[in-house]
Structure 1
Amino acid sequence: MSQPPRVDLRSDTVTQPTAAMREAMSAAPLGDDVFGDDPSVNALQAELAEMLGFEAALFMPTGTQSNLCALMSHCQRGEEYIVGQYAHTYRWEGGGAAVLGSIQPQPIAHAPDGSLPLDEVEAQIKPDDAHFARTRLLALENTIGGKVLPMDYLAAASALAQRRGLARHLDGARLFNAAVAIDAAEPYAAARRICSHFDSVSVCFSKGLGAPVGSVLCGSREFIQRAHRWRKMSGGGLRQAGLLAAAAQHALHHHVRRLADDHALARRLAEGLQGLPGLSVEAPQTNIVFADVAPERAAGLIEHLKARGVLATGLYRLRFVIHLDVDAVGVERAIAAVRDYFLGA
C-alpha cells in the first residue's frame, strides 16, 4: 500500500512551482539581464517598484544576496547597522555584512512582539567620534519570527531613524504575509504602506509566494545603481533570468491573497496542539507556528514526526511553517502525529 505524501512543514521555502507557474515560466520572453534587456526581469522590477512606491528595483537570485547588497549600498567599511538579535541580516545570513562588507552589526534584543525597543535603538546610535563605528542604518524585518510589526511601530521607528540621520532597510522576505495579516482585503495597498517607512526593501518570492528562486530589492534609482554594482561583484548577474522572474511575477499576481489560507491553517494547527502536556504553543499571527517543548520530552520528537510523514524543524524552538503545498488534510495529520507523541503510550 502506498504511503500518503509527506507533510513538509520545515519551511515555506520547500514549495514547488504550480502548473500555472511552470506555464508562465515556459512562455516568458527572454533576454540577457546582465545587458539589462531581459523583458521579463524588467517587467517584474518595474511592476514591484511601482506597486511598493519605489523608483527602481533589482532582481536577485536570493534574499541573502538582496539583503547583503542593500547593507553594502547603505553602509561603507567601518560603519554600522542596528539590527535585531534574531534578524536574518544578523543571525542567519552567514555574517556576510561583516565578512564581505566590513560593516559592523549592532544587535539588539527583541521585545516579545518582535520589535526592537526604540529607546534601546536610540541608545545604541554611536556619537560621531573616532572611537566608534559610525551608525548609518536601522535594519528591521517584517514578518519577524512570524510576527507582524505594527504600523504605528514602523512609523515611530522610521521617525526616529530620520531624526537621527539613519537610513532604513526592511528585510521583507515575508512582506506579503505581513500585508495580508494587516489587510487581507487589500494586501497590495497594505504592503505599500509598510514600505513607505523605508528607504529600501527586500522582497522574497521563494517563501510563501511559492516561486522556485528569487528576491527583489527596491529603492531609489541611485540606491539601486549602487546595489547593481554589488550584485555584479557578489556573483549575482544572471543571463536569461526571465525564466525565474516570470515565476516571481506569477506569484505576485496569483499567490498573495491566498496567503490568508496559510494563516488560517496555521491557526488551526496551533489550536490542535493546545493543551498537550510538555508542549507550549504560541498563537500564530501569520503562517508560522512556534512551540516550546519541555526538555524531558524533546528527544525523539522530530524523528517521531518524520516516521509519520511529518517534517518539522527544532533548531531552537519547534517550528511548523504552512505554505501553498500544505492543505487542511496535511495539517490534521500533523496534529495527529504530535498528539500521538505527547499522549500516546
Structure 2
Amino acid sequence: MPDFRSDTVTQPTPAMRDAMLQAPLGDDVFGDDPSVNALQEHAAQLLGFEAALFAPTGTQTNLIALMGHCQRGDEAIVGQSWHTYRWEGGGMAVLGSIQPQPVETQPDGTLRLADIAAAIKPDDPHFARSRLVVLENTTGGQALPLPYIAEVAQLARSRGLAMHLDGARLFNAATAHAEASGGDVYEAARAICAHFDTASVCLSKGLGAPVGSLLLGSRDFIRQARRTRKILGGGMRQAGLLAAAGHHALQHHVRRMANDHALLRTLAQGLAEAGRSHPVLAGKLAVASAHTNILFCDVHADVAPAFTAWLAQHGVRVTSSLYGGATRLRWVTHLDVGPQDVAQALDCIQRFAPA
C-alpha cells in the first residue's frame, strides 16, 4: 500500500533494527548512556557544532532552543507558516512566555529581508525584546538558497539577534544543494548550519529513525538545554535503543535521500501529465509545487471528493486539505516509497473513473 502521507511513517530497516538491538545502554538522564553520547558527539562533529542533545521530538528541540535564546517577554521572529509558529501548539508562548513575531512567508519559502528588518523592535519598554530569528529549511519541501541564509544571518548579527534553524528536513535541503552544485551532501549540511547558533534536526523523517530529534549548539547552550529538556519531560532513561537508530540513519540514510527526490520528480511528471490529458482530470488537477521530497497538487472541487475517495479505495494514502476552493493533496516520498509505489500510484490515477 503506497503511503505518501509523510516521511514520518517510515519503518526501521533490518540493519537499523540490528543496530538498536546491539546498542550498549546506560541512563541518559545521568548522562551515561553510551549510545546516546555517541550519537550526540557524532552529530555535533558532523554538522560543525560543539555539542548536541537528543530529545524525543522536533517540537521539543525547537522549544528548548527558543527557551534558551529567549526569556519571558522576549520575541522570536518566525515565518507565518513555520512549524515553530503554526504547527507546534503555540509552545513558545504557552510554555516559554515568548512572543512570536510572524512574518509573511514568500512563495519561494523565504522571508523578505525588509520584512525581517521591519519586525525587529527598538530597545523600548513598550515592545517585546527581539532576540532571535528562526528559519525553517526545508519549508514546504523548498530548500532555502545558501546566499539568502547568509544575508539573513548578516542582518541578524548586525542587530544583535541570534539565529535558530528548524532543520527538521536539513538533509533534504543539503541533498538539493549537493545535487545542484555537484558537491557532497554532508558538506552542504555543514555549510547550511554554519550560519546558525543552534539547529534542530529530525531523525524520524527522511532519515528513517523511529523516534527522536537533535538540538545542536555551543557547549554552554546545550548544558542549559539539558535542564530545559528535563523541565519539559524529555529526559529518557535507556534511550540508547532509539539513539542507535538515529546514529545508524546519519551514517547510512543520508546519501540515499537523492533517491527520494528523483522519485518525487517522477511522481510530479505523472501527475502533471494526468492534469493535461486524463479524461476526467484534465484541467482539474495541477501540480502546485514539487521540491525535494514534498509535492502539493490541487484538485478542482467538483472532482476532488471522488478522486480522493478513489485513491483511498485503491490503497494510495495521501493527506489533503482545503486550499482556495480546491483540495490540496500532499505527497511525500521517503525511505519506504520505491519506484513500484510511484508506478502503482500513477497507474491508479490513470484508471480514475468516477461513477
Could you say which TM-score interval applies, normalised by the shorter chain?
Answer: over 0.9
Residue 293 of structure 2 corresponds to 287
Residue type matched to 1:329 in 2?
A: Q
Letter of the aligned partner of 1:285 in structure 2? Answer: H
For 1:213-232, what aligned pairs fall within 5 Å after superposition? 213-232=211-230
Residues 200-215 of structure 1 aligned to structure 2 (within 5 Å): 200-215=198-213
Corresponding residue SS for 1:183: helix
Q: Deviations over 1:242-275 (max 9, x none)?
A: 0000000000011000000000000000000114
1:163 to 158, 173, 182: 158
Structure-1 separation of matches of 2:319 and 2:301: 16
Q: Which residue of the partner structure matches residue 191 of structure 1?
A: 189
Rounded to whole Å, the distance in 1 between the matches of 2:347 and 2:158 is 52
CA contact (8 A) 2:29 2:235 kept: yes
Structure-1 residue corresponding to 2:270: 272
Instruction: Out of 255-264 and 275-284, give the one that drifted further.
Output: 275-284
Taking the TM superposition and a 5 Å limit, the aligned residue runs for 1:69-218 are: 69-184=64-179, 185-218=183-216
Deviation at 1:240, TM superposition (A): 0.5
Task: Work out the CA distance in 1 between the residues paired with 2:71 and 2:289.
Answer: 40
Instruction: Report the 3-state secondary structure (helix = DSSP H, G, I; strand = E; otherwise coil) of the residue aligned with 1:304.
Output: helix
Matched-pair contact (CA < 8 Å) for 1:114–1:147 = yes
**Paired residue type of 1:115:** T
Q: In structure 2, give the amino acid aligned to 1:17.
A: P
Match of 1:44 in 2: 39
Q: 1:300 to 1:102 in 2, by over 3 A?
A: farther
Return the offset for 1:226: 1.6
Count of paired positions: 339
Tell whether the 8 Å contact from 1:12 to 1:322 is kept in structure 2 after alignment: yes
Partner of 2:325: none
Shift of 1:150: 0.3
In 2, Cα distance between equivalents of 1:302 and 1:210: 27
The one of 21, 40, 50 aligned to 1:55:
50
Deviations 1:38-94 (A, max 9, x none): 011001101110111111100000000010100011000111111111111011111
Structure 2 Cα separation of the partners of residues 212 and 323 of structure 1: 13
The aligned residue for residue 279 of structure 2 is: none
* 1:322 match: 333
The correspondence for 2:250, drawn from 249, 252, 261, is 252
Give yes or no for contact 1:273–1:339 (8 Å, CA) kept in 2. Answer: no
Residues 302, 313 of structure 1: 8 Å contact kept: no
Structure 1 residue 301 corresponds to structure 2 residue 307: yes
RMSD over aligned Cα, in angstroms?
Answer: 1.2
How does the TM-score come out when normalised to structure 2? 0.93
Q: Which amino acid aligns with 1:129?
A: D
Is this contact kept in 1: 2:307–2:354, CA < 8 A?
no
Q: Is the 8 A contact 2:62 2:166 kept in 1?
A: yes
Tell me the secondary structure at the aligned position of residue 168 of structure 1.
Answer: strand
Task: Say if 2:24 and 2:34, in contact at 8 Å, map to a contact too.
Answer: yes
1:307 Cα deviation after fit:
0.5
CA contact (8 A) 1:302 1:311 kept: no
Aligned residues with identical type, % of pairs: 63
The aligned amino acid for 1:335 is L
1:293: how far off?
1.8
State the Cα distance separating 1:109 from its structure 2 match. Answer: 1.2
Classify the secondary structure of the residue corresponding to 2:290.
Answer: coil
Is the CA contact (8 Å cut-off) linking 1:267 and 1:283 kept in structure 2? no
The whole-number CA distance in structure 1 between the counterparts of 2:344 and 2:97 is 47
By how many angstroms is 1:299 displaced? Answer: 2.2
Any idea what SS the aligned residue of 2:320 has? Answer: coil
Shift of 1:300: 3.6
